Chain A
Amino acid sequence: MRYLPKSPGDRETMLKAMGLHSTDDLFVQIPAEYRLNRDLKIPRQMAESEIVDYFRQRSRENGEGFTSFLGAGAYSHYRPVIIDSLISRGEFLTAYTPYQAEISQGTLQSIFEFQTMICELTGMEVANASMYDGSTAAAEAVMMAVRLTGRRSVVVARTLHPEYREVLATYATHQGMPVSIANFRDDGRVNVEELEKAITSETAAVLIQSPNFFGTVEDVRAVAELAHKQGALLVVSIAEAVSLGIVEPPREADIIAMEAQSFGVPLGFGGPYCGVIATREKFVRQMPGRLVGQTVDKQGKRGFVLTLATREQHIRREKATSNICTNQALVALMVNIFMTVYGKVGLKELAKQNLAKTAYAAAQFAKHGKLLFTAAPRFNEFVISTSEDPYAINSRLLGHKVVGGLPLKKFYPELGNAALWCCTELTTRSAIDTAVGLVAESERSVRSAKDESDVEEEVTQ
């Protein structure tokens, strides 16, 4: 086996050194009746070339070469080449959690820089080293608010990513945390009147997303006022990190739960991604996840260590702030490199291109379908309602190697034939025009079919 660095002779020498005769002697403690005396029924050992072929084949069956208008919590942005060059260095790729600080300064310093940049972008004072993803970060942020306030109930905007809401429901069920939902208005924003009624003196957290699931920027300040008036904490989820380049961050939030996938992380069929929690300094001791802090060594030289570990499971066990242990460190490094590449000016310009492409696409689609939620600002997603079922339109688009917007009726039945479309800096004008053309065709054919049936009706009358 090519990964094993021992010759049969080595094994024999080692066994002999231990006074053993065969490998079986090493497994005597396993009761004989449970030992597996056959080969596992799994694929036979394959050559490297066969493995590569196998996955190339799977790739061809997996949307290779399609242009996509899907967003909805997973965004297609350009990934600078140096991200993979750098994260492929074995010293980053094959290191463990940096518990031994003296030989982990590379990982530790890079996490410290990551925490700093997340703070700069979100307007928060502290950020952790990462969480699993945006959905679990949101759930953990809410549980953090429960600990901080000593209250239990949670109010959630229906404009929060539907799968994030599902994850929160799973986490909340056994924590005795009642969750109530506030609906959205005609402008695509959470209904503040409903929110106001739902928030009580028992509310620990109000959880919204901005830009929300429809791509609409929420009025965070108004929601913050409502939450704070009742002593509740505001948790804001950010699923599209690139928005931070041009959309004012939710500075009024108490906790931000972010998904940083947009910053250089491949779509990868949904993971691994990179969750992060950022908050105010005064809340840090209730924050879940790892934290890196700056300190000095015995000679007074600057260095970095994992710190405030007394919040964590390996010290506090059942009294820990969370059970999280492994996080998303290597993915956080991708995010870190992406943020460094684009930096102060590039992130803004990048976000602006997203804004422009989306404004163009929304305007073009609006000529044929109905553009919803026009009264509030949006970032890089928009909702178009068509006469025809979007699933039908999408299956025709697939014939042109285009993946259309996400039909919303699965999550929001009342929106009928609406679909959520996304444009990023990678979406070309010609792809937009192709998609618009096909939607226009669909609308024309529905209209002419309708005209014909109207004529028929007149004739029969």
Chain B
Amino acid sequence: MKHMTRKATPHVNQNEGLIFEKSSAGKAAWKLPPLDVPDVDAAELLGTAERKDLGNMPEVSEIEIIRHFTRLSTWNYAIDLGMYPLGSCTMKYNPRVNEAVARVEGIANGHPYQPEKISQGALRILKTLSDCLIEITGMDAITLQPAAGAHGEMTGLLMVRAYHQAQGRPRKKVLIPDSAHGTNPATAAMVNYSVENLKSNAQGMVDVSALAAQMNEDVAALMLTNPNTLGVFEQEIHKIADILHAKGGLLYMDGANMNALVGKVRPGDFGVDLMHLNLHKTFSTPHGGGGPGSGPVAIKKKLEPFLPKPVLMTKADGTFGFDYDRPQSVGRVRAFYGNFGMFVRALAYIQANGPDGLRQTTEDAVLNANYIRKGLEGVYDLPYSTPSMHEVVFSDKVQAKKGVRTMDLAKRLIDYGFHPYTTAFPLIVPGALMIEPTESESKEEMDLFIEAMKSIAEEVEEDPQTVLDAPHSTRVSRLDETAAARKPILRWKPAL
């Protein structure tokens, strides 16, 4: 409590109702130019398909809309306000030049079907970004089509299936460590693979002997996050790859934690056959309150025939185009070519960094995580003493004795002016506190974070109720999630 105002001070913020509650007939925030063609009678053109009424759509003025959304925005925490240490989410700074270049006329307004001749600018961006990502991952080819990480996983497993099918049979199952993200098993199910759980060893890494025992010719692939969700680099990665490859299986890497590796080590060099990247994590495109993302999948040569179509190609005259003639392709996973606006931002990020900047970024991300680990060791339980890369996972074991759990600690952290870490994940750590500071935090900000976490630990000892009731300084206190789920209210309705 004594350190509470070092980072944050409560201040007045505006109340604001739902936009529908501000609406009244005749207000407008729009104006159309006069029609330069003859007006039409909609009833005549559309007949019974004509819509007469737009129900409860709002009618408000422009200033009300500006105030409405500005007020709402002030109720959010954001990277722009401070440290956002969500483990596995890589909440790093989102550079503003990325936003500026994504809005340049020909880039923002290019139509996906405009002729190739006048699309060379967009295609060159695709090509340049592809080349950079292939080099960064050490792979041979890439598709940018998937719209997010989980979509990339699906695309990857479709290629795994197609690859095995081409060898004679698709195989039956995918091995997934118990520390994996929930998207991994959900994706395997979408591609009709059964999921076999792989237990972690005492160091939080893949149990290599268990893997060897479980590996057989029914296994299509292992989906491995590296560094894993404990922030631990799989030191025996070469043995893991060898075990997979010896029985014809493929090593899929979930690249969610690529921020720990860029410029320091390349998955393609340690035996990975295919992997997805999250441009919205490692490559700084904004999370935007939950999206959009982008989940390119980088692959080794042997998987190239199975890439989703179309595939970007360089023609004999040096111009770029799309190749649709891909008989072994897994097909299309999305209309058009992917989240192009995110490619623009990711490329601008790579350009702003260059090889030296990307390496320094990775080093700083790992430095920051280890600094926090050092600062909080002994205060919070560290279930795995294996060295950390870009994130560190503690548990609430000590505080749980006082009845305070990871979610309570997280809620109290809000009062100190920080966004919480990731709670209760990975599943192999009961009561996990998963902390990923990223490279974007200064030493001062992290010192404040460490101080806040220590102060909360003291509060747990002295006055646990304060922590259990947190947050105290937000505009709403803890919300009743059970009621929300039991009788869902998923939309506004006018009062009768």
Contact = CB atoms under 8 A, between A and B. Distances in A.
B189 interface: yes
Contacts of A348: 51, 54
B370 A18 contact: yes
Contacts of A344: 23, 54-59
A202 interface: no
Interface stretch (B206-214, B392-400, B485-493): B485-493
A68 B481 contact: no
A101 B149 contact: no
B39 A298 contact: no
A301 B348 CA distance: 43
Interface string A68-79: 101011101000
B330 A63 contact: no
Q: How large is the interface on B (under 10, 10 to 19, 20 to 34, 35 or more residues)?
A: 35 or more
Given A26-B370, A136-B334, A96 B91 contact: yes
Interface string A269-299: 1111000000000001000001111111111
Interface in B108-155: 108-115, 117-122, 124-125, 128, 131-132, 135-136, 147-151, 153-154
Contacts of B124: 58, 61
B488 A307 contact: yes
B40 A359 contact: yes
B479 A29 contact: no
Interface in B412-444: 414, 419-420, 425, 439-443
B192 A176 contact: yes
B109 A76 contact: yes
- Report which residue of A13, A86, A98, A307 has the largest number of chain B beta carbons within 10 angstroms of its beta carbon: A307
A31 B238 contact: yes
Contacts of B253: none
A85 interface: yes
B75 to A, nearest CB: 4
B429 to A, nearest CB: 15
A105 B475 CA distance: 9
A31 B387 CA distance: 13
B115 A349 contact: no
Nearest to A377: B46
Nearest to B373: A18
Contacts of A413: none
Given A35-B264, A56-B104, A326-B292, A45 B353 contact: yes
Contacts of A459: none
Contact of A43 (B101, B120, B350): B350
B80 to A, nearest CB: 3
A137 to B, nearest CB: 10
A161 interface: yes
Given A294-B484, A337-B69, A170 B101 contact: no
A324 B146 CA distance: 12
Given A96-B89, A313-B186, A86 B59 contact: no
Contacts of A92: 69, 73, 76, 78, 288-289
Interface string B348-386: 101111111111110110110011001000000000001
A249 to B, nearest CB: 7
A101 B471 CA distance: 11
Contacts of A428: 36
B340 A127 contact: no
Contacts of A412: none
Contacts of B252: none
A330 interface: yes
- Report which residue of A66, A176, A340 has the largest number of chain B beta carbons within 10 angstroms of its beta carbon: A340
Nearest to B118: A63
B350 A42 contact: yes
A21 interface: no
B266 interface: yes
Nearest to B191: A174
Given A26-B366, A353-B35, A104 B121 contact: no
Nearest to B340: A269
A449 interface: no
Interface stretch (A3-11, A225-233, A434-442, A450-458): A3-11
B15 to A, nearest CB: 10
Interface stretch (A110-118, A150-158, A193-201): A110-118
A305 B490 CA distance: 10
Interface residues of A, number: 197
A341 B352 contact: no
Nearest to B54: A344
B195 A82 contact: no
A461 interface: no
A167 B188 CA distance: 18
Interface string A27-51: 1111100111001111111101011
A270 B121 contact: no
A246 to B, nearest CB: 5
Contacts of B154: 323
Contact of B57 (A86, A91, A120, A297): A120
A315 B471 CA distance: 24
A61 to B, nearest CB: 3
Given A41-B135, A247-B46, A324-B148, A74 B19 contact: no
Contacts of B153: 323
Nearest to B93: A3
A312 B425 CA distance: 15
A136 B147 contact: yes
B163 interface: no
A343 interface: yes
B387 A59 contact: no
A4 B481 contact: no
A342 B27 CA distance: 10
A339 B20 CA distance: 12
A28 B38 contact: no
B45 A359 contact: yes
B414 A102 contact: yes
A247 B481 CA distance: 38
Interface in B60-101: 60, 62, 65-66, 68-81, 84, 86, 89, 91, 93-95, 97, 99-101
Nearest to B94: A94
Interface string B440-456: 11110100000000000
A368 interface: no
B157 to A, nearest CB: 9
A220 B361 CA distance: 54
Contacts of B352: 2-3, 45-46, 48, 51
A325 B106 contact: no
Contacts of A398: 115, 117-118
Interface in A363-413: 377, 394-395, 398, 403, 406
Contacts of A356: 35, 37-40
Contacts of B474: 102-103
- Report which residue of B95, B237, B288, B474 has the largest number of chain A beta carbons within 10 angstroms of its beta carbon: B288
6 contacts: A4-B361, A62-B107, A62-B119, A248-B51, A309-B485, A325-B150
Give 4 nearest A-B pairs by CB, closest first.
Answer: A330-B288, A270-B336, A45-B354, A90-B80
